């Protein structure tokens, strides 16, 4: 009887340790989406593209960057108090943009049950945003469906991005969207 219990315990523990491996058990390239190389000397494997893997991701902003303010800010900046919070978010321009606005994001559901993001009211508007003068917003980025975002005019087109926070590491990102009707 003791032999069967020992075998059962060994099987349970091996399933527990191999089945519940987190990111620590994954190679670095698997987490970053690059080429996967088998370290045992086998040939490198390039993942095959499928309809699921090639779904278009929302465009990212390359003109405006976003991050958390973790210390004191030196230099000039614009400040917007959106919420009563200690979280400060900084939007920096890598190029000059016109009509930069920090906006509310609202939502609408169509007859098919699809949710469309809508550009809501502007909370703060700046005629120009330059690389030397960022915008700092005291706001909670929230989680789930986006409630805040930015819009700006760059090279003749108006662009819209919603602010989101990663549930994994808390990092902030801007993802492009086209406002629904």
Q: In the chain, what is the straight-line distance between the N-terminal and C-terminal CA atoms, in Å?
A: 69
Do 94 and 34 share a domain, yes or no? no
Same-domain pairing of 43 and 68:
no
Q: Do 84 and 171 belong together in one domain? A: yes
Do 133 and 97 lie in a common domain?
A: yes
Q: What pLDDT does residue 11 have?
A: 57
Instruction: With respect to residue 56, please indicate whether it lies within any of the assigned structural domains.
Output: no
Q: What's the pLDDT score for residue 56?
A: 44
Q: Is 16 helix (H, G, I), strand (E, B) or coil?
A: helix
In terms of residue numbers, what domain contains 105?
Answer: 64-176
Give the 3-state secondary structure of residue 24: helix
Number of domains present in the structure of the chain: 2
* pLDDT profile of the chain (181 residues), mean per 10: 59 50 40 36 38 44 86 82 81 94 91 88 94 90 83 93 88 89 61
**Is 114 inside a domain boundary?**
yes
Cα separation of 160 and 105, whole Å? 10
As a whole number of angstroms, the distance between CA 32 and CA 14 comes to 27
Distance CA 20, CA 6 (A): 21
What contacts 23, CB < 8 A, 6 or more positions away?
31
pLDDT at 27: 40
Together in a domain, 171 and 122: yes
Question: What is the pLDDT at residue 110?
Answer: 81
Q: Which two tokens stand for residue 45?
A: 């494997």
Chain centroid, CA 126 distance in Å: 24
Residue 58 located in a structural domain: no
pLDDT for res 70: 82
User: Mind listing the pLDDT tens digit for each residue in 150-170?
Assistant: 999 999 999 999 999 888 888
């Amino acid at each position: 009887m003791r032999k069967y219990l020992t075998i059962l315990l060994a099987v349970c523990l091996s399933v527990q340790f191999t089945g519940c491996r987190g990111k620590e058990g994954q190679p670095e390239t698997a987490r970053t989406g690059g080429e996967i190389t088998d370290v045992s000397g086998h040939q490198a494997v390039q993942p095959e593209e499928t309809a699921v893997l090639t779904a278009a991701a929302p465009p990212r902003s390359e003109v405006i960057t976003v991050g958390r303010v973790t210390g004191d800010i030196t230099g000039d900046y614009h400040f917007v108090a959106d919420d009563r919070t200690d979280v400060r978010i900084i939007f920096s321009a890598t190029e000059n943009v016109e009509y930069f606005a920090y906006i509310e994001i609202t939502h609408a559901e169509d007859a098919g049950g699809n949710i469309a993001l809508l550009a809501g009211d502007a909370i703060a508007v700046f005629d120009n945003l330059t690389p030397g003068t960022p915008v700092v917003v005291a706001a909670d980025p929230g989680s789930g469906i986006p409630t805040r975002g930015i819009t700006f005019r760059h090279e003749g087109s108006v662009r819209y991005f919603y602010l989101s926070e990663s549930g994994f590491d808390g990092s902030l990102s801007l993802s492009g969207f086209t406002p629904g009707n």
